[in-house]
Structure 1
């Protein structure tokens, strides 16, 4: 049920969705502050509020996709998205500003990767892994395209005009999401006579996505908790870098024009790593890939300390961060296929992602304070610690999944 055309349409929708919602604050945050006379704390509190809203609606979103499919959910998300951008353009009050981010928070959870992954898992079961990677190829270019495009639209039409353009882009996603199959039974990897909620352990010896031995309840619980831990940290890091990658580079010593152009290179890193995962990832288990990407994430932040006095280091930092983040975005969708039946994928993942959305809501405001208060290098050190914790979690998940299930 997952066709090439559907993957392309969903991928374009992800490119538009990420570029005009999650990365919006990186483009227009400073302009909104100047236009309305607000400080950075208020501006980034709006984005944080949206992340909280994402967490609040996450379990409901997962259940709705499991029950009704992704089509109505993602179409509704595009409508919320356009409404949020329009309200940001038209409001000059704090009430209107936070209402706009409320709408965008709902929109992001209903349309971005987690919704698309659940949709694909429902349609294709364990065979959705390749499609999940393919749609992230498009989304990985969102910052590369929309950061420069947003600055151009702002300069050409003004902030209000740019936000109107973003609303128009959001509406383009409606026909794309309408192409999702409206009907069909949820895909399952379990025989009809077994319980649909029975977790599955994927064969680890040859790294294939075929069902082998069921996980026992303790293993499933441990895997779920470790998955939630890893993805919570990734959410925090990604929220921080999406909002502050440009200011972080500027704080390390780059001029603003350099910071914008070099930060945009993260998209090429994401694209390259996701393409490599699609081409060669079938030879490796998703947990092994998560382990590798977590190590690369830590290395990228270490390289970042040299970005202030070396343009090459700054470029390597942004590309390697993008590569690590790009891979982790895919495994965010594929690792649960090792643990849960795809028929209940949306519900299970929706619950597990809830802590990450809540914690990441603090990231934009916290890291704005950190960059302005303790400086860019100290902020980079904090990111290194978070990346190290992510790596430790990935090692633990690898160890748990490589243990043989208990005999019954």
Structure 2
């Protein structure tokens, strides 16, 4: 745990870099999507598919990035990730055809894995100790404003530049803002990063290297044992099912409401209130985390989200009930991010946190990628968005129930479920 002054510096830097990273690497492209399709002649689904490839690449890379982060720390991972993000965006802008465009987005996905929430959460978990929930909450509040800041900024750039020029401008902003902050602010000592095998050159080098290698092998065995345990499997299933249910429902709220006869503008306003609910949920999470252990907290929040989706499926009036249920679903979705961020440390502590959290990031990222189109496809398959919302609520209920099986009993004197 680092000093309060260092914590404030790290949190402030990560607030700025997460807002910028999410805004440029995630929220900006949907704003440019129509311009990309019109200029290239690709269909909207094809153009958006390249972006989805990047998100999938991020999910695939997350476990390896987590293991690397455990070894070298966030300064190197996030610093070079920022460099990769800027360079890969230049590749997107310069892509001569669809193949290279998709490949460039795959590299953007690698950068996302290195600079967005997962490595930031690992840094805050290690450095902030018992203050980690408040620190993570603060950073996610900043990240939650990324779309609010960068969607209109991207639209403004598109008025004066082509989509390629806009992408280049955003790459420059990403580099100028995030590379120096990651290099200058993420400087506290990182456990395990001081020495690796082969770095010692004095007389005891062989013995020291063997000690380091044994420790590394012990950590790898711990990660394998933990990640293959039943509670961890329950955790992954919980994150995947509830992520798909909550993201699928909230991201398809406009077509769901218009199918029920609501005007598009009214539906869009209600959809916007989901974001307000997310902020409310994140503000309230620290108080909730101090009252319930991790499994009960997850079951309560995700069960509440399932009820909100079910209310939307059952009732189409009065309007205020629909609004309240939409905001409530947003509350659950906002807290979902924090549940995912603290799920590993609250159950298994901070040992090998980067590696374990990288694995836990995979189902959440896959759910985020699959939910928009997946829920829409589900609605087509079952014949209506109403029926699809019943099924999404059921998936979320199952995930909430699985949360109760994700608790870990202490063994050997080690506390594995943490109450803050």
Which bracket does the TM-score occupy, shorter chain normalised? 0.7 to 0.9
TM-score by length of structure 1 reads: 0.78
Relative to structure 1, the CA distance from residue 353 to residue 280 in structure 2 (aligned partners, 3 Å threshold; closer, same or farther) is closer
Is the CA contact (8 Å cut-off) linking 1:26 and 1:242 kept in structure 2? no
The RMSD of aligned alpha carbons is 3.8
Alignment deviations for residues 191-237 of structure 1 (CA, whole Å, 9 cap, x no partner): xxxx9979xxxxxxxxxxxxxxxxxx799922211111122234435
Is the CA contact (8 Å cut-off) linking 1:48 and 1:363 kept in structure 2? no
Is the CA contact (8 Å cut-off) linking 2:7 and 2:128 kept in structure 1? no
Aligned position for 2:400? 391
The structure 2 residue matched to 1:111, chosen from 115, 133, 136, is 115
Structure 1 residue 98: Cα displacement: 0.8
TM-score by length of structure 2 reads: 0.76
Aligned position for 2:133? 129
Aligned position for 2:386? 377
Is the CA contact (8 Å cut-off) linking 2:245 and 2:393 kept in structure 1? no
Structure 1: which 5+ residue stretches go unaligned? 188-194, 199-216
Structure 1 residue 345: Cα displacement: 0.3
Structure 1 residue 70: Cα displacement: 0.5
Aligned position for 1:325? 333
Is the CA contact (8 Å cut-off) linking 2:125 and 2:350 kept in structure 1? yes
Is the CA contact (8 Å cut-off) linking 1:306 and 1:314 kept in structure 2? no
Aligned position for 1:166? 170
Aligned position for 1:182? 187
CA separation in 2, counterparts of 1:97 and 1:271?
34
CA separation in 1, counterparts of 2:371 and 2:345?
28
Is the CA contact (8 Å cut-off) linking 2:271 and 2:326 kept in structure 1? yes
- The reply to whether residue 338 of structure 1 matches residue 343 of structure 2 is no
Structure 1 residue 10: Cα displacement: 0.5
Structure 1 residue 361: Cα displacement: 4.3
Relative to structure 1, the CA distance from residue 125 to residue 24 in structure 2 (aligned partners, 3 Å threshold; closer, same or farther) is same
Question: How does 1:18-29 map onto structure 2 within 5 Å?
Answer: 18-29=22-33
Is the CA contact (8 Å cut-off) linking 1:252 and 1:307 kept in structure 2? no
Aligned position for 2:196? none
Structure 2: which 5+ residue stretches go unaligned? 193-214, 220-224, 415-420
Is the CA contact (8 Å cut-off) linking 1:47 and 1:364 kept in structure 2? no
Is the CA contact (8 Å cut-off) linking 1:141 and 1:271 kept in structure 2? no
Is the CA contact (8 Å cut-off) linking 2:246 and 2:392 kept in structure 1? no
Is the CA contact (8 Å cut-off) linking 1:62 and 1:346 kept in structure 2? yes
Aligned position for 2:210? none
CA separation in 2, counterparts of 1:312 and 1:79?
47
Relative to structure 1, the CA distance from residue 179 to residue 268 in structure 2 (aligned partners, 3 Å threshold; closer, same or farther) is farther
Aligned position for 2:36? 32
Structure 1 residue 353: Cα displacement: 3.2
The structure 2 residue matched to 1:67, chosen from 58, 62, 71, is 71
CA separation in 1, counterparts of 2:378 and 2:182?
39
The structure 2 residue matched to 1:42, chosen from 20, 38, 46, is 46
- The reply to whether residue 82 of structure 1 matches residue 60 of structure 2 is no
Aligned position for 2:273? 265
Aligned position for 1:230? 238
Relative to structure 1, the CA distance from residue 71 to residue 307 in structure 2 (aligned partners, 3 Å threshold; closer, same or farther) is farther
Larger radius of gyration: 2
CA separation in 1, counterparts of 2:235 and 2:147?
26
Work out the number of aligned pairs and report it: 384
CA separation in 1, counterparts of 2:81 and 2:320?
40
Structure 1 residue 4: Cα displacement: 1.6
